[in-house]
Amino acid sequence: MNDALIHLFIQLISSRIGLQVRPQDRTALSQKILTRMKAIKLALPEKYYQLLTDRSLESQKEWRQLVLLVTTNESYFMRDKGQFSLLEKVILPELIEQKIKLKKTLGIQPTLRLWSAGCSTGEEPYSLAILLKQLISDWSEWKILVLGSDINEAALEKAKRGIYSEWSFRLVDSQVQSRYFKQHKNEWEIDVNLRHSVDFKSVNLVSENFPNLYNNIYNMDLIVCRNVFVYFEAKYISIALKKFAQTLKPGGYLMTGHAELHGQTAGEFKPKIFPESVVYQRCDLQKNEFCAADPAAVRETLNLEFAEPITPAAGDRPLTEKNHQLFC
């Protein structure tokens, strides 16, 4: 495949799913494309490119297959202890307290809406649900949404099954593991009630529009999107950030992976600095809240968050939207 054609494929893939294809990934990408061409019996890469650019059902089906081929999945429960500690001890209690106050003053049912965007095989949204179970004693009196989304449909199917190997629990307290999971030989199955408390949807953060009432993606209190943007092209990070801001309630929070917003403007977000992490709170423009124009403005306070992201070693790279490892 010539350089001009592979460049067209790279542009197309980036524009469709946001991924940055590095120069060292070009050869591997060519092999993946040839693999798909062979699978659907196409002889010419030009024909395959034409198929991907079509608006047909066949094109949509092929995109799903290509995404499976160029992404792999690896995640685990309570990933990044610092960030989950921040969620457990600060962010979620603050949101819960706000809802309780609304219930007392207005007499309305408390609601809480969380979105794990780029959830891979589901460990992250289930981890969020576990935290909520531990923090909310009167769960049945609440209207709670925990949504997990990813572009990789095979990963979502595994998430819906809720069955994991011991490796997924390497940062989980044994008491938490035994409370919310049942062991079956070498695997652990999540408690059925907890599994039913999490919804999963296929969502493309780049090409799909949100807020989206149909997909129940609106008025979020918290969006967790970690280990996603580190492998996105900068312009598609900006696009996703704008949509996240529109999807969050005023005062809602966005949590990303460390340093993933390097070089981005905060827009409608104001960075809030904690020892464990920086999180981004949607400004309440009705209150004339000041939004920091550039996350780098707090770089002097917490260098770690805004340092240039470090490319992970080959065996340690994140994968899919949750953790894209392209062409491993």
Q: Where are the domains of the chain?
A: 3-70, 81-310
Question: What's the confidence (pLDDT) of residue 267?
Answer: 83
Helix (H, G, I), strand (E, B) or coil at 213: coil
Question: Looking at the chain, which runs of residues are DSSP E strands?
Answer: 111-117, 143-150, 163-165, 181-184, 187-190, 198-202, 220-225, 248-256, 269-273, 278-282
- To which residue do tokens 């994968």 refer? 319
Neighbours of 280 (CB within 10 A): 26
Q: Which of 248, 238, 237 is nearest to 282 (CA)?
A: 248
| Predicted confidence pLDDT, tens digits, the chain (328 residues) | 889 999 999 999 999 999 888 899 899 999 999 999 999 999 999 999 999 999 899 999 999 999 988 876 778 999 999 999 999 999 999 999 999 999 999 999 999 999 999 999 999 999 999 999 999 999 999 999 999 999 999 999 999 999 999 999 999 999 999 999 999 989 999 999 999 999 999 999 999 999 999 889 999 999 999 999 988 999 999 999 999 999 999 999 999 999 899 888 878 999 999 999 999 999 876 655 555 444 444 443 334 343 344 343 333 333 334 444 444 3
Element (H, E) at 194: helix 192-196
Question: What's the confidence (pLDDT) of residue 153?
Answer: 94
Instruction: State the Cα–Cα distance between residues 17 and 67, nearest whole angstrom.
Output: 9
- pTM value > 0.75: yes
Q: Which residues contact 223 (CB under 8 A, 6 or more apart)?
A: 114, 115, 117, 244, 247, 248, 252, 253, 254, 255
Instruction: State the Cα–Cα distance between residues 305 and 21, nearest whole angstrom.
Output: 24
Q: Which fold has domain 81-310?
A: Rossmann fold (3.40.50)
Please check whether residue 310 is in contact with residue 304, taking contact to mean a CB–CB distance below 8 angstroms. no
Q: What angle do CA 88, 168, 179 make, to 5 degrees?
A: 60
Question: What's the confidence (pLDDT) of residue 286?
Answer: 60
Instruction: State the Cα–Cα distance between residues 228 and 254, nearest whole angstrom.
Output: 13
Domain 3-70 coded CATH 1.20.120: no
Please check whether residue 293 is in contact with residue 263, taking contact to mean a CB–CB distance below 8 angstroms. no
Within 13 Å, how many C-alpha atoms sit on residue 32's CB side? 23
Q: Which two tokens stand for residue 30?
A: 């060519």
Instruction: State the Cα–Cα distance between residues 95 and 91, nearest whole angstrom.
Output: 6
